[in-house]
Amino acid sequence: MSPHRGPQPKRLTQGTRAGTQAPALPSAAWWVLAVILVLGACRSASPRRVLVEADGQRRWVTTEAETVADVLDEIGLTLGELDRVEPPSYTLLEEGLQVRVIRGQERLVEEERPLPFERIVRRDANLPNGETRLIRLGQNGLERVTWRIRYEDGKEVEREIVSREEVRAPEPEVLVVGTAGGVETVPISGTIAYLAGGNAWVMRGTNVPRALTRTGDLDGHVFALSPDGTWLLFTRRPLGGGAGQAGPFNSLWVVRTDVVNDEPRYLGVDSVLWADWRPCVPLEGRPCLADIGYSTAERMPAEPGWKARNDFWLLTLSDQGEAVAPRRVLEPDMSEWYAWWGREWAWAPDGRYVAWGSATAIGFANVETGELGTLTLFAPYETGAPWVWTPRPAWRPDEQWLAAVVHAPPVAGEPPEKSEQFDLWLLPVAVSAPPVRLATNVGMWALPTWSPQGMLAYAQAEDPAGSAMSRYAIIVADADGSNRRTIFPTDGRPGVDRPLVAWSPNGQQALVVWQGDLYLVGLDGTATPLTLSGTITRFDWE
């Protein structure tokens, strides 16, 4: 006979209400609760030493506080609206924990900066072909820009434009170019592709062009011929995609150059800042695959319209022009100054490495292992605008050195980020040797490019103190920087606005764009026009 135990509590099930009476806990739960209470009691009873860093001072604090917020209250440190703390304020304290208070600040900064003038080219059939007349000099305008700049512990971390006001309108420069007689048919080797008016065009055998696209939506971020010249890789703007809209800001495509009216193929990759074909040296037992490296970004509503991830991907192009098995080689990296703008990239000649240039450094990466190396560091250039200067490195054909423009220290005592000095360097990659400065004060857009035989082409700013908007002359030199000479322009005409150079497959000619048209330039300085477009912005030659 069991003893009388009185009324038993009701077992609560889902949906049962029992006033304010709490349900009975299983015995195991009581044990867990007891352990938590005991540990909590032990924790609060044990003082801990934590390192607090704030306002330029570091001190050890012995405390029985529970969280980061508690210890800050205990020592009288308050956080402002823009301040933050690492680790977060809810973090439980542990022995030896380092707590850092980061002071935030915002201020409005007003500055005046030049508005670049437009260069207008007019073609006149009454003037001899190639003759130029400068009708009106251009004058820069002036705008007043107000920035909201955010600082953390005195270091700038973010800036955005609050307002801009035009103080003085720019006056365009007007240049008349003679076209009498038109452009002669000129034989060319290999394949030339160029971007004009938002479309891609190709030349093969002669300078008679053929359209590859007719949509008018190529954005110019990517424009590259495959090593054999049979494919063109390019990016297109999305239909109806304006600034501030959601979704990708462009997409990656390919089209065959050796097939008339070939239909472009979408590669399934969006928001691409850079992409290029991977070079390949055939080895025994290893076929050459049509690999493409690329780096991505995310769309942003503010200028410039993207935020770079600084990642690096690799995909293979099938024989049918489809992307196969994309894989990520480098994880996203936002650790550098102005990382949101992105990096310039350049394949090594054998495709094993890729070089990169950022706002503060030049380095390289092993594509197979993802291992990174840094070759040089420098101060970022403060543009005062929603764009960032980044150097574009170029591999010497022997893969022992990189040529690159480096932002140099100031020569007149100004802050490093305001220096207008840009020098051309050879940086050792696979040799034990010090860097070699090839030329000083070349300008930020010197853009070195190697011929297949190892001759170096680069641009020299006409106005190195204002190289962002300067015209440039095209220089060629031997691999060590000696025997340099100007090859374009050599007849007194103004320099080039876009100092890009592409070498012919045999390295005996260079391709440049002047006043929106392609010119074939010999090593002796002879220049032959290939087009009468006036709108060419990108080109490649394989």
pLDDT per position as a tens digit, 405-437: 999 999 888 899 999 999 999 999 988 999 999
Tell me phi and psi for residue 91, to 5 degrees: -65, 135
- Look at the domain 105-176 and name its fold: Resuscitation-promoting factor rpfb fold (2.20.230)
Confidence check: pLDDT of 517 > 80: yes
Model confidence, pTM? 0.72
DSSP string, 201-250: EEEEEES--EES--S--EEEEEEEE-TTSSEEEEEEPPTT--TT-SS-S-
Confidence (pLDDT) at 163: 86
Nearest CA among 325, 329, 262 for reference residue 289: 325
Contact 421, 409 (CB under 8 A): yes
Worst-scoring range by mean pLDDT, 88-92, 200-204, 258-262, 277-281?
Answer: 277-281
Confidence check: pLDDT of 172 > 80: yes
Mean pLDDT within 211-225 = 96
pLDDT level of residue 1 (50, 70, 90 thresholds): very low
Nearest CA among 509, 522, 507, 499 for reference residue 454: 507
The residues that bridge with 402 in the sheet, in sequence order, are: 395, 427
Give me the residue label for tokens 């150059």.
Answer: 257
Phi-psi region at 19: left, alpha or beta (left = phi > 0; alpha = psi -120 to 50): left
Mean pLDDT within 488-517 = 93
Give me the residue label for tokens 């002796």.
Answer: 524
Confidence check: pLDDT of 113 > 90: no
pLDDT level of residue 240 (50, 70, 90 thresholds): low
DSSP string, 109-144: EEEEEEEPPPEEEEEEEEEETT-EEEEE--B-EEEE
Mean pLDDT within 57-72 = 92
Confidence check: pLDDT of 44 > 90: no
Contact 349, 399 (CB under 8 A): yes
Confidence check: pLDDT of 497 > 70: yes
Average pLDDT of the chain to the nearest whole number: 87
Confidence check: pLDDT of 40 > 60: no
Confidence (pLDDT) at 287: 60
Confidence (pLDDT) at 525: 94
Nearest CA among 205, 258, 214 for reference residue 236: 214
Confidence (pLDDT) at 20: 40
Contact 512, 118 (CB under 8 A): no
Confidence check: pLDDT of 22 > 50: no
Mean pLDDT within 480-497 = 92
What SS3 state is found at 443? coil
**CATH number 3.10.450 given to 49-102:** no
Burial 95-130 (b: 16+ CB within 10 A, else e): eebebebbbeeeeeeeeebbbebeeebebeeeeebb
Query: In this predicted model, what pLDDT tens digit does every residue of 303-362 receive, in sequence order?
Result: 889 999 999 999 999 888 888 889 999 999 998 889 999 999 999 999 999 999 999 999
Q: Which is more confidently placed, 504 or 154?
A: 504
Q: Which is more confidently placed, 363 or 280?
A: 363
Confidence (pLDDT) at 5: 36
Give residue 346's Cα distance to chain centre: 12
Quick one: DSSP state of residue 305?
A: S
> What is the C-alpha to C-alpha distance for residues 191 and 462, in angstroms, rounded to an integer?
31
Mean pLDDT within 488-503 = 92
> What is the C-alpha to C-alpha distance for residues 497 and 499, in angstroms, rounded to an integer?
6
In percent, how much of the chain has pLDDT > 70?
Answer: 87
Confidence check: pLDDT of 132 > 50: yes
Worst-scoring range by mean pLDDT, 112-121, 251-260, 323-332, 506-515?
Answer: 112-121
User: What residues have CB less than 8 Å from 68, skipping those under 6 apart?
Assistant: 85, 87, 88, 89, 90, 91, 93, 97, 99
Confidence check: pLDDT of 282 > 70: no
Cis before residue 87, ω within 30 degrees of 0? yes
Confidence (pLDDT) at 114: 87
Domain edges within the chain? 49-102, 105-176, 217-334
Confidence check: pLDDT of 178 > 80: no
